[in-house]
């Protein structure tokens, strides 16, 4: 079954959401090629989900042919030259003899498997007789340093929430789904300008529903890791391998994806054998992550990703037609609750380390001793002034003070063990 991101992917420039100025520049570029005036390649740069690949495909529809190298393919020097290099220097057999060459996510070239990839791209750009479109997520990537000067850079910006809401409304109308505009606006807000993310959210909420109510809105974890939840939803809700791999093209640590997937498997899968198979794949992925760390050969990450994505997805017999609230790992919730306190402690250790000329690690070990010293109020105020402590830092360092009555009793009455020892000695 086709996902909504594919089903409602814009086919023309008029259907695109936002980036009107960028589209105007792209149209001029196309027209120049049509008029026989070769142009520098287009480099579309912008965050994931802003429509770079969609724009590249729309540009391709204005030419007689197109050749695309997907981001998931290997991009070694030899492979690029064999596939793209030859095509870029030969004429097309159709119509105006111009074919569009698309190189997707060129900033993703990395490691030994892509050795010489950037060099090959620069060579293709220099020798090509055909229009070229490249896409990239990170404008500051070192991989683009030699590519950018040879290209016309078009910045693709995030969609405005109003534009996303309008697009979601059109989808609801075509799918005969009743949705409160407030809910659509909340989905647009949570997407942070990522239209693909908003569509994925809407599809998940609307599955099996004819009316979307506020109770179906997902918890606020999505605001922290927007890309991760799209990937998790694809893994747990789909069995379409292509859709899963596309959703996993996110700029996050793959080990983080493993933790989030592990947390949400029992929330989605209901049959014991499905859960067992899914966790077995995650354990294998964890082994590959360990091998990558030990050997520094990060090709093992690819094997790990296959187990996390395709392995977990195919562990279920059929997709579940239900809405599931996904959540981050329990450790993340704990760290989220204690974030403020941990930041105060870190700032406190920083101040002590600078004043006493010691490391932050050693500074933290002084906390118990300072706590004892600070019991004297006069000394406490002097130390507070010397270290320039805020109210919060001072409270953390002093800790919870015991009531004066308890302190007096402790001074007057020796501990019970000491009393027993004294009595034994007396006997």
CATH of domain 19-155: 3.40.50.300
pLDDT at 345 over 80: yes
Query: pTM higher than 0.75, yes or no?
Result: no
Q: Round to whole Å and give the CA distance between 163 and 157.
A: 12
Q: Is pLDDT at 222 greater than 60 in this prediction?
A: no
DSSP summary character for residue 319: -
> Residue 193: what are its φ and ψ, rounded to 5°?
85, 0
Whether pLDDT at 354 is above 60: yes
Mean pLDDT of 26-55: 89
> Any bridge partners for residue 212, and if so which?
179
Give percent helix, percent strand, percent coil of the chain, each to the nearest 5. Answer: 60, 5, 35
Top-confidence residue, 265 or 197: 265
Is the CB of residue 326 less than 8 Å from the CB of residue 225?
Answer: no
* Location of structure tokens 């997707």: 104
16 neighbors 10 (Cβ within 8 angstroms): yes
In a 13 Å sphere around the CA of 235, the CA atoms on its Cβ side amount to 30
- What mean pLDDT do residues 228-242 have? 85
For the segment 299-309, the average pLDDT, to the nearest whole number, is 89
pLDDT for 220 equals: 39
Pick the range with the lowest mean pLDDT from 166-170, 190-194, 328-332.
Answer: 328-332
Q: Which residue has tokens 């001072």?
A: 394
What's the chain's average pLDDT?
A: 78
With cut-offs at 50, 70 and 90, classify the pLDDT of residue 43: very high
What mean pLDDT do residues 358-377 have?
85
Q: In the prediction, which pLDDT does 109 show?
A: 63
Which H helix or E strand runs over 152? Answer: strand 152-155
| Length of the chain in terms of residues written | 427
Give the separation between CA 329 and CA 258, rounded to whole angstroms.
10
| pLDDT of 413 over the 60 cut | no
Say if CB 79 and CB 87 are below 8 A apart. no
Q: Return the H-helix or E-strand segment holding 45.
A: strand 42-45
Neighbouring residues of 75: CB distance < 8 A, sequence distance ≥ 6: 69, 109, 114, 117, 120
For position 46, what pLDDT does the model report? 86
**How much is the pLDDT for 425?**
40
How far does Cα 260 stand from its chain's mean position?
12
Own/partner contacts of 278-285, CB < 8 Å, gap of 24 or more, are: 278/311, 278/312, 278/315, 278/316, 281/307, 281/308, 281/311, 281/312, 281/315, 282/258, 282/307, 282/308, 282/312, 284/311, 285/258, 285/311
Rounded Cα–Cα distance for residues 240 and 246 (Å): 10
Q: Whole-angstrom Cα distance, residue 335 to residue 346?
A: 14
Domain locations in the chain?
Answer: 19-155, 339-418
Q: Please name the residue ranges forming H helices in 3-116.
A: 4-7, 20-34, 52-60, 77-80, 86-88
Closest-CA residue to 113 (of 74, 143, 78): 74
Average pLDDT over residues 15-40: 90
pLDDT reported for residue 242 = 81
Q: What is the SS3 assignment for 39?
A: coil
Q: What is the pLDDT of residues 83-141, one digit of tens each?
A: 565 556 566 555 457 888 888 878 766 544 445 677 778 888 888 888 889 998 878 77
pLDDT band with cut points at 50, 70 and 90 for residue 152: very high
204 versus 74: the higher-pLDDT residue is 204
Cα distance between residue 164 and residue 188, in whole Å? 6
pLDDT of residue 87: 59
pLDDT tops 80 at residue 337: no
Please check whether residue 311 is in contact with residue 281, taking contact to mean a CB–CB distance below 8 angstroms. yes
Residue, of 51 and 105, whose pLDDT is higher: 51
Q: In whole angstroms, what is the distance from residue 125 CA to residue 240 CA?
A: 35
Segment 402-422 mean pLDDT: 47
């Amino acid at each position: 079954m086709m996902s909504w991101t594919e089903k409602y992917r814009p086919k023309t420039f008029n259907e695109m959401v936002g980036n009107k100025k960028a589209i105007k520049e792209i149209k001029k570029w196309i027209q120049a090629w049509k008029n026989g005036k070769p142009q520098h390649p287009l480099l579309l740069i912008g965050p994931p989900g802003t429509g770079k690949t969609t724009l590249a495909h729309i540009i391709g529809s204005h030419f007689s042919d197109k050749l695309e190298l997907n981001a998931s393919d290997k991009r070694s020097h030899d492979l690029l030259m064999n596939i793209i290099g030859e095509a870029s220097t030969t004429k097309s057999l159709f119509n105006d003899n111009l074919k569009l060459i698309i190189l997707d996510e060129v900033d993703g070239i990395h490691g030994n498997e892509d050795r010489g990839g950037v060099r090959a791209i620069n060579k293709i750009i220099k020798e090509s007789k055909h229009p070229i479109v490249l896409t990239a997520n990170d404008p500051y990537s070192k991989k683009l340093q030699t590519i950018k000067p040879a290209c016309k850079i078009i910045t693709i910006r995030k969609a405005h929430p109003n534009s996303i809401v309008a697009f979601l409304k059109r989808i609801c109308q075509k799918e005969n789904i009743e949705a409160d505009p407030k809910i659509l606006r909340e989905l647009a807000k949570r997407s942070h300008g990522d239209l693909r993310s908003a569509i994925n959210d809407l599809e998940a909420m609307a599955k099996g529903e004819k009316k979307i109510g506020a109770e179906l809105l997902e918890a606020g974890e999505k605001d922290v890791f927007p890309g991760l939840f799209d990937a998790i939803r694809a893994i747990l809700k789909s069995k379409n391998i292509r859709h899963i791999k596309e959703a996993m093209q996110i700029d996050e640590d793959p080990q983080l994806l493993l933790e989030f997937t592990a947390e949400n498997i029992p929330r989605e899968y209901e049959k014991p054998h499905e859960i067992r198979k899914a966790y077995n794949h995650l354990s294998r992925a964890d082994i590959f992550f360990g091998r990558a760390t030990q050997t520094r050969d990060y090709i093992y990450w690819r094997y790990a990703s296959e187990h996390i994505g395709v392995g977990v997805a195919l562990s279920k017999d059929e997709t579940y037609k239900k809405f599931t609230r996904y959540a981050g790992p329990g450790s993340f919730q704990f760290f989220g609750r204690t974030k403020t306190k941990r930041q105060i402690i870190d700032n406190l250790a920083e101040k002590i380390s600078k004043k006493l000329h010691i490391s932050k690690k050693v500074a933290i070990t002084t906390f118990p001793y300072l706590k004892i010293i600070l019991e004297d109020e006069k000394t406490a105020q002097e130390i507070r002034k010397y270290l320039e402590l805020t109210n919060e830092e001072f409270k953390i360092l002093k800790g919870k003070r015991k009531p004066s009555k308890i302190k007096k009793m402790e001074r007057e009455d020796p501990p019970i063990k000491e009393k027993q020892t004294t009595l034994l000695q007396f006997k």
